[in-house]
């Protein structure tokens, strides 16, 4: 049996490197609904960030910021895993503040 080559002995083939790969704008897949967050009920557990399949949850310094609608495909998983009900799926046509952040309870749609 022939001995297998190690990876660095193989000829270079097609490779897509992280720094050269443009992430697909999955936000264009949304049909009908998008998430918004009620910030006063967010406890920063970051479960939404862990479970979001499209890296559409934005965080900074380990703090939840909101949604990147260019990549959010509207699957609703973040709403399902949010333990406090801070995330709600709302109609796509609803105009929201940047990142889908609702600051005051009375603003909730």
Q: Which stretch binds ligand SF4 (CB under 6 A): 2-10, 15-23, 40-48, 91-99?
A: 40-48
The smaller minimum CB distance to ligand SF4, of residues 11 and 27, is found at 27
- Interatomic CA distance for residues 51 and 80, integer angstroms: 10
- Interatomic CA distance for residues 83 and 68, integer angstroms: 21
By CB under 6 A, is residue 90 in contact with ligand SF4? no
Bridge-partner residues for 88, per DSSP?
Answer: 36
- Interatomic CA distance for residues 83 and 60, integer angstroms: 20
- Interatomic CA distance for residues 45 and 87, integer angstroms: 12
Q: Which stretch binds ligand SF4 (CB under 6 A): 11-19, 74-82, 91-99, 101-109?
A: 74-82
By CB under 6 A, is residue 102 in contact with ligand SF4? no
Count the Cβ atoms, other than its own, within 10 Å of residue 33.
17
By CB under 6 A, is residue 96 in contact with ligand SF4? no
Footprint on this chain of ligand SF4 (rule: CB under 6 A): 35, 37, 42-48, 52, 54, 56-57, 64, 67, 72-78, 81-82, 84, 86-87
């Amino acid at each position: 049996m022939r001995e297998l080559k190690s990876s660095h002995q193989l000829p270079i083939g097609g490779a897509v490197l992280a720094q050269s790969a443009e992430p697909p704008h999955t936000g264009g897949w949304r049909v009908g609904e998008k998430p918004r967050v009620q910030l006063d009920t967010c406890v920063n557990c970051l479960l939404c960030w862990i479970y979001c399949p499209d890296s559409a949850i934005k965080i900074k310094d380990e703090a939840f910021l909101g949604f990147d609608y260019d990549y959010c495909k509207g699957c609703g998983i973040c709403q399902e895993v949010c333990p406090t009900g801070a995330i709600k799926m709302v109609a796509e046509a609803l105009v929201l503040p940047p990142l889908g952040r609702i600051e005051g309870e009375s603003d909730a749609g």
